[in-house]
Amino acid sequence: MIHTKPPVIRRLTALGATFLLALSMGVTVLAPAAAAENATGRWAVVFTGTALPGDVDQLVAGAGGTITERIPEIGALRVQSSAPDFAARMGAVTGVRAVSPDIEAELIPEEAPTAAQPPLAPPEESPRGAAEPAGPDPQPGFDNFYNQQWDKMRMNASATGSYAVQRGRRDVAVAVLDTGAEVLPVAHPDIAPNLDFARSRSFIGSNAPGGDPSPAAWDDRHGHGSWCLSAVGAPINTVGVSGVAPTVTLVALKVLSDTGSGSYLDLAEALVYAGVNKLDVASMSLGGFLNHSDSQALYIAVQRATEFARSNGVTPIAALGNNNFDLSDGAFLRDFVEVPGEVPGVIGVSATGYYNQKAYYSNYGVGKADVAAPGGDRIFQLPPPNYRGGGRVLGAWARENLGGVAPVLIEEDCDLTSADCGAYAWVQGTSMATPNAAGVAGLIVSQYGDFTPDNSRKLHLPPTTVESILQITANNQPCPQPRLVTYPGAPSTLPSNARCNGDAGYNGFYGKGIVDALKAVTEYQQH
């Protein structure tokens, strides 16, 4: 579908009956004529070098524009201009590499609203067949809802698994670039204990360098960001859920609004902020499809921001999306690229369900899926009925929802000491798989990083090393047989099948395999 939309991206939310209105990521681009008109008047400008010229204000004004945001570390600007020839005039300026309007990747309704859960099937009747789980269930945990967290068990993040070896260091910071964190009026009890209030920021509508530090600005009034933060690092405190890395430091970087949309340039600025502040991991459960020719400036900005972040010790990890697309199919996608999931230097994550098979909605592709992680599958991989979510996965959620689609299944748990209560939602998506993988990355940095004295402003572990360990210690998952998997009964707007290419060690469905928290902190030395 071709739309002319405001300059925003949208989150990759859970797909299916998890929500009142099931959603998936639609391919939304600007047609060339629309790009030339750019009704919003908001432009991305990138220069040839990764620095801004000294006379940049005059250069932009001469082309008929006004600078509204600067990202000097990557030579990028946001510019407002109503001049019909701004792109041509700015593009002709010496030293300018690309000028593009920002675009919107819009979530498109997938299924009719419903609160009904699909019937649960016993494991042996799973249409996709049962693979040997990476981690068995049940496994013991400490928090009230841990016995529902099959996704953490699959990664061996449990009392008898990684929690017994490494729970994460306080001086390891995992940033979640999303809708923020629920902190107002009362901070979520499963996020607040590990949340770094001082370094959290909002980049939505903020022209201040380094974002807006006010908690009111980066408060999550949607829920998606809070879910992802809890998946990474919900503390072990007897309340609610447990994160993969329950003692790392969490940093909320708000790049998506309360309705789940945000600017690609805000995403780039947040990645730069992560690099400047030497954060260790950046988890991004968001994205959209960009056209190389129409959106070159946006792609370059995110690519440069990724390079800047990695050069400063940040390991970027991103969702691949919920379209059931083969992202390696050049004939199908042609000039389109999923950003940030396909950007070089970003670890792309596909989603699996209860039986360790690719989730029916998850994008995939050889050279695109680097690793896989549990994200839920409510249709084809239904767990036993003792799991209340019907194939979905459980995490923290914000009580206030100002514009997103509320999950159908919500639970509550309270801290008996403080009497603070939090909401929890059963959802699914590559959005959920991504922070699960990011949590393992946080454990890797904690286990193998350099934490000699005066370490607060230095690189703890090179991203290349983090990525290598994450992949080496993942549980290889072979392609299903037959390799062409059909999904009868899946949403009609998704492709009805998916073909897995590759072998057990590396393939398009799972990359190097399904991440394993215990192996990541115990078995690397053996390789």
Q: Which two tokens stand for residue 317?
A: 């990890």
Residue pair 460/445 in contact by the 8 Å Cβ criterion? yes
Coil, helix or strand at residue 453: coil
User: Out of 102, 137, 151, 178, which one is annotated catalytic?
Assistant: 178
Q: Which residue, among 248, 317, 309, has the nearest Cα to 286 in the 3D structure?
A: 317
User: Out of 431, 446, 460, 516, which one is annotated catalytic?
Assistant: 431
CA–CA dist 61, 393 (Å, integer): 50
Q: Which two tokens stand for residue 234?
A: 């919900």
Q: Which two tokens stand for residue 416?
A: 């008996």
CA–CA dist 423, 346 (Å, integer): 31
Dihedral sign for Cα atoms in the order 28, 34, 39, 40: positive
Residue 97 phi, psi dihedral angles, 5° rounding: -90, -40
User: Out of 188, 222, 224, 460, which one is annotated catalytic?
Assistant: 224
Q: Which two tokens stand for residue 105?
A: 């990747």
Residues whose CB falls within 8 Å of the CB of residue 193, separated by 6 or more in sequence, listed in order: 235, 237
**Burial status of residue 109 (CB atoms within 10 A of its CB: 0-12, 13-18, 19 or more):** middle
Instruction: Specify which residues 319 forms β-bridges with.
Output: 349
Which contiguous run of DSSP H or E holds residue 410? strand 410-414
Q: Which two tokens stand for residue 367?
A: 């050279």
How many separate helices (H) and strands (E) can be counted in the chain?
12, 22
Instruction: Specify which residues 75 forms β-bridges with.
Output: none
CA–CA dist 254, 432 (Å, integer): 17
Residue pair 301/337 in contact by the 8 Å Cβ criterion? no
Residues in the chain: 527
Q: Is 224 a catalytic residue?
A: yes
Q: Which residue, among 105, 100, 106, 108, has the nearest Cα to 40 in the 3D structure?
A: 100
CA–CA dist 4, 315 (Å, integer): 33
What is the residue-wise DSSP string for 18-79?
Answer: TBSS-EEE---B--HHHHHH-TT-EEEEEESSSS--TTHHHHHHHTT-EEEEEEGGGTEEEE
Q: Is 200 a catalytic residue?
A: no
Q: Is 431 a catalytic residue?
A: yes
Instruction: Specify which residues 66 forms β-bridges with.
Output: 80
- Give the residue numbers annotated as catalytic, written as ranges: 178, 224, 431
